């Protein structure tokens, strides 16, 4: 099967996820700058979640760019990824309403960890379908970056029970690592095409 509809559907779901999160930004009651102060941490966590979902979209874009075709298993591996991403707004909202308390911060990290795991599974499913010597397989390689970020998520979740803000800082570090999109794939495909 061609990959176009999988891309279009994923674009649609991620577009809705990234946009409905902003509905959590409740309008403050006052009309002065001081009334915006309590919105600041909510805004920052919205920014963090926006960046995370944006990273997934970017990497998904790169991954599918190197993909030639998809099958039924790949469709479900992709829906599995979208499922965990769809829980990001809920996890963000719970974290916000409890001033970054341990359990909500740990749940937020768990959703990110499970989304990361789902992305890893999707990449493996696609690589298996395309064969060891495909452009996709060579472009992704051993995928140390994914493994390291999954381990870092786990560490951050444990850290949340000691200090919620420290865990959030560690999440932000992972975001920065991934901020540069999957340039391995970009570079590899370019080299192949030239």
How long, in residues, is the chain?
194
In angstroms, rounded to a whole number, what is the distance separating the alpha carbons of residues 22 and 25?
Answer: 5
CB 85 within 8 A of CB 57: no
In angstroms, rounded to a whole number, what is the distance separating the alpha carbons of residues 86 and 60?
Answer: 15
Min CB(93)–a second copy separation in Å: 5
Residue 137 engages a second copy in binding (rule: CB under 8 A)? no
CB 111 within 8 A of CB 53: no
- Single residue of 37, 44, 76, 154 touching a second copy by CB under 8 A: 76
Q: Return the ∠ at Cα 180 (arms to 176 and 185), rounded to 5°.
A: 140
Stretch that binds a second copy, among 65-73, 130-138, 145-153, 168-176 (CB under 8 A): 65-73
In angstroms, rounded to a whole number, what is the distance separating the alpha carbons of residues 53 and 112?
Answer: 10
Min CB(148)–a second copy separation in Å: 20
Nearer to a second copy, 143 or 186 (CB): 186
The residues that touch a second copy, with contacts defined as CB under 8 A, are: 1-2, 5-9, 11-20, 22-23, 25, 27-29, 31-33, 36, 47, 50, 54, 57-58, 61-62, 64-65, 71-72, 75-76, 79, 82-83, 86-87, 89-90, 93-94, 97-98, 101-104, 107, 179-181, 183, 186
């Amino acid at each position: 099967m061609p990959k176009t509809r999988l891309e279009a559907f994923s674009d649609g779901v991620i577009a809705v996820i990234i946009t409905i999160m902003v509905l959590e930004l409740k309008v403050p009651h006052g009309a002065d700058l001081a009334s915006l102060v309590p919105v600041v941490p909510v805004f920052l966590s919205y920014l963090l979640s926006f960046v995370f979902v944006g990273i997934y979209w970017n990497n998904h874009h790169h991954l599918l760019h190197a993909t030639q075709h998809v099958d039924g298993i790949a469709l479900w591996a992709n829906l599995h990824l979208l499922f965990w991403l769809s829980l990001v707004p809920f996890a963000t909202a719970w974290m916000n309403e409890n001033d970054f308390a341990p359990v909500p911060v740990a749940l937020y990290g768990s959703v990110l960890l499970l989304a990361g795991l789902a992305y890893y599974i999707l990449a493996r499913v696609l690589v298996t379908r395309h064969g060891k010597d495909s452009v996709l397989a060579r472009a992704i390689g051993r995928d140390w970056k994914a493994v390291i970020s999954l381990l870092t998520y786990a560490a951050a979740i444990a850290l949340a029970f000691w200090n919620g803000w420290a865990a959030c800082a560690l999440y932000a570090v992972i975001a920065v690592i991934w901020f540069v999109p999957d340039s391995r794939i970009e570079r590899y495909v370019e080299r192949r095409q030239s």
